[in-house]
Amino acid sequence: MTREHKIAVIGLGYVGLPLAIEFGKKYPVIGFDINKARIAELVKGRDHTHEADLAGLQEVISLYFCTNKKGLKLTNDEQDIHEANIYIVTVPTPIDRFNNPDLTPLLKASATVGKALKPGNIVIYESTVYPGCTEEDCVPVLEKYSGLVFNKDFYCGYSPERINPGDKVNTLVKIKKITSGSTPETADIIDKLYNSILQNGTHKAPNIKVAEAAKAVENAQRDVNISFMNELALICDRADIDTNDVIEAAGTKWNFLKYRPGLVGGHCISVDPYYLAHKARALGYDPQVILSGRNVNNSIAKFIADKTLKLMIQKGYKILGARVLILGITFKENCPDCRNTKVVDIANELEEFGCRVDIYDPWANVETVKREYGKDLLQEVDQQQHYDAIIACVSHDQFKSFDFKKYKGQGTVIFDVKGFVDRSLVDSRL
């Protein structure tokens, strides 16, 4: 296995792009994505995910043309990745409509890499999977398309991504990363590779399966904790007490964890538990806690919609034809990522009852929302439009100066999902 690394990063989304940029500062890197528009965007120095350091992106692109020892080459041509000897796969691993793992992007990426593999090469997966997926699902594809033998001709590793979209503190170079390899020597090479760009080092797992399981567990644990707080919110609503007050009171105990209730979407927390549950069932165990947490979290959007409708009825509003404004459609604040957003479920529920729903989000991409969810976003909120209800779903900085007081004076029902609106102005909150 050569120690003169030339790296190909497969997939230049939220995970792959920051990785390609950082490695490009030290090694020659080929950044590959099947999306021509994505490559064109990056070549022009733009990034719709807002995850890239644009100055760093321009730096490594320029470096590639000045030297053959480091820098980033952007391409959608599969032939270009044949130059590499280390391949890092960072494609999405979604779920299907039945909540089963959808490995289609991962297996297609493996086929692409397999065609380029040469003896001595290493393939590292960062995409979130269930324990065993790398060696049981991906390796056979690599062998099929390369004609090479695993752990004899080529080697694999797994280093789960820990990108937190919109987080400018816990960035790629500042986090501690898990690494693993299919042989002890491979594990050492991969560990040193990642340590070369990280400030806080790595944790070298004993094998690939442990690293895969650790990633799934990280997010499943958070999902279960949030589900408990969401269940608490449902109980508090029936008891006519404020969930946030309860959390603040309980939080005075030294070992209480102050998780907050809310909508659980995004690319990790709402998806990874299903990967872990899938593997558990394949091993003959029916997971209880993990799926129970998922069920609770999936119910919150309907609760918010139904609660808003009840409050509107109490104020004498006719539901059929009622105007409702939803503030925010991304899955978290100050971030354009709309993957698996549960805000859409709120809108759909209200529309089923005949409400006319407007959605405003200055962070979200209009075309993406239309393509993925069939929803049209407002370019701006019409200040002259009366709304019977407003649901503040995402605490973008822009919404903190929104004139809720004006709408409150007009009798508008205001539901605060994230607990950021002046308490005196809201009718209900989680």
Q: What are the tokens at 1?
A: 């296995």
Catalytic residue among 133, 268, 338, 393: 268
Which tokens is 77 given?
Answer: 């041509």
CA 310: distance to chain centroid? 32
By CB atoms closer than 10 A (0-12, 13-18, 19+), residue 319 is middle
Contact 134, 156 (CB under 8 A): yes
User: Residue 70: helix, strand or coil by DSSP?
Assistant: coil
State both tokens at 337.
């990522």
Strands 71-75 and 202-204: unpaired
Q: How far is CA 120 from the centre of its chain?
A: 33
Read off the amino acid at residue 223.
D
138 among known catalytic residues: no
- What's CA 246's distance to the chain center, in Å? 29
Closest CA to 263 of 389, 417, 156: 417
Q: Which residue has the tokens 């927390």?
A: 269
Distance between CA atoms of residues 90 and 366, nearest Å:
25
Residue with the two structure tokens 């408990």:
228
Residue 303 CB partners (closer than 8 Å, separation 6+): 234, 237
N-term to C-term CA, the chain? 54
Alpha-carbon Rg for the chain, nearest whole angstrom, is: 24
3-state secondary structure of 96: coil
DSSP string for 205-253: -SSHHHHHHHHHHHHHHHHHHHHHHHHHHHHHHHHT--HHHHHHHHTTS
Q: At what angle do helices 208-239 and 272-282 cross, to 10 degrees?
A: 120
Tokens of 338: 């709309």
H-assigned helices in 94-207: 104-116, 133, 139-146, 184-195
Contact (Cβ atoms closer than 8 angstroms) between residue 347 and residue 375: yes
**Residues annotated as catalytic (active site), given as ranges:** 268
